[in-house]
Amino acid sequence: MNRRLLYTALPTITLTGLYLSTRGCTPGISLDGSISTRTKMEDYVKQLQSRIVHRLGEFDGGHAFRVDKWQRKEGGEGISCVMQDGKHLEKAGVGVSIVHGKLPPAGVKQMRANHSGIPYDPNANASLPFSAVGLSLIIHPRNPFSPTVHANYRYFELYAEHDNPADSNTSPIFSWFGGGSDLTPTYLIEEDAHHFHNTIKNACEKHDSGFYPQFKNWADKYFYIPHRQECRGVGGIFFDDLTPGSQLARGKNADELFAFVKECGDSFVDSYIPILEKRRDTPFTEHNKRWQELRRGRYVEFNLVHDRGTKFGLNAGGARIESILMSLPSTARWEYMTDMGVEQGTQEEKLQQVLRHPVDWV
């Protein structure tokens, strides 16, 4: 079943009501009445998606999102909400996926490259059951002085070879949280970078004073395009492999990590919408638009060549390509030996300097 409809961001509509009443999996409620981390994350990303879509639609004057509700035959479901050709938002996508199934050996090996703690014998060539719950969003504004933004928050569980991943009570052999949010301006406006980073820092510090500097540094390294020798944007935070009780997670348990991820997700609107509201009516020229499309080209290069989420989606089997590539802009540009961003003293060159030498914004 694949239902398509329009969502106009009216306050009486909630996207959570569009999910299947029966997901084909057992609710994650244990015998002692506790709710599994997986189930809590599922409920959270649904309501966060609804809130963000509502706020973006409100910002763009009620322009409708196209809402695709989909099911994955290998197990799971999701909703992809996409706005195209809005008044202020050229393209915006907010997607939720709640999937489970078997991760083929190639996918497990790819995952172990970034998650060395996964208990797996690569010589066994075995598939492993998995579940993945996540929200991913990308916003490409129309105005070149409004920055692009990305955010993703996810929870992953791996199970023993013969376990049932459709049962939310199945005990994982390995689990972790991941996510982050980063800002990608076409033109550097330092006030915006300060606001974005300060909002995220405040969210992090409610849970651990060490999280922001640790994850800000990780973002500067992760959102980097090696073949261009530059960062994708002005960064934000990035974290992965936050396994409950681990040193990387600073010893925090699953409930504490879930609360941290929730805090980060809840801070998104405050970190970004005020920037959009300030920049949406800034006058711009064809020159500015050309530079925006060149920078979008670099964004495409990162997403298709280096992004972990894209690689996982394509390797997991049963890939829904439209949702995986939802992050790509409507238009992008490549020029052979372009002169833009090279001439010293220009606004374009000012951005390039920051992309090559990351800045501490707080």
62 vs 55: CA distance, rounded Å: 9
Q: In 3-state terms, what secondary structure has residue 91?
A: strand
| pLDDT for res 15 | 56
Identify the CATH number of the domain in which residue 119 sits.
3.40.1500.10
Residue 96 lies in a domain: yes
With cut-offs at 50, 70 and 90, classify the pLDDT of residue 18. Answer: low
Higher pLDDT, 348 or 307: 348
- When comparing pLDDT for 321 and 131, which is higher? 131
Q: What is the mean pLDDT of residues 177-206?
A: 98
Residue 135, in any domain of the structure: yes
The answer, yes or no, to whether residue 140 has pLDDT greater than 50, is yes
- Which residues are catalytically annotated? 150
Is residue 338 packed enough to be buried (19+ CB in 10 Å), middle (13-18) or exposed (0-12)?
middle
What mean pLDDT do residues 138-162 have? 97
Q: Residue 31: pLDDT band by 50, 70, 90 thresholds?
A: very low
Q: How many domains does the chain have?
A: 1
Residue 242 lies in a domain: yes
> What is the pLDDT confidence band of residue 25, given thresholds at 50, 70 and 90?
very low
Q: Record the tokens describing residue 334, joined without a space.
A: 């490549």
362 within some domain? no
Domain range enclosing 96: 3-356
Q: Is residue 361 part of a domain?
A: no
- pLDDT score at 12: 33
Please report whether residue 326 resides in a domain: yes
- What percent of the chain stands above pLDDT 70? 90
Summarised one tens digit per residue, pLDDT across range 236-293 is 999 998 999 999 999 999 999 999 999 999 999 999 999 999 999 999 999 999 999 9
The torsion region of residue 33 among left (phi > 0), alpha (psi -120 to 50) and beta comes to left
Question: For 72-123, what is each residue's pLDDT tens digit?
Answer: 888 999 999 999 999 999 999 999 999 999 988 888 887 887 777 888 887 7
The pLDDT score that the predictor gives to residue 24 is: 39
Say if residues 355 and 230 touch (Cβ distance below 8 Å). yes
Please report which confidence band the pLDDT of residue 6 belongs to, taking 50, 70 and 90 as the band edges.
Answer: low
On whether residue 94 sits in a domain, the answer given is: yes
Residue 231 in any domain: the answer is yes
Beta carbons of 31 and 76 less than 8 angstroms apart? no
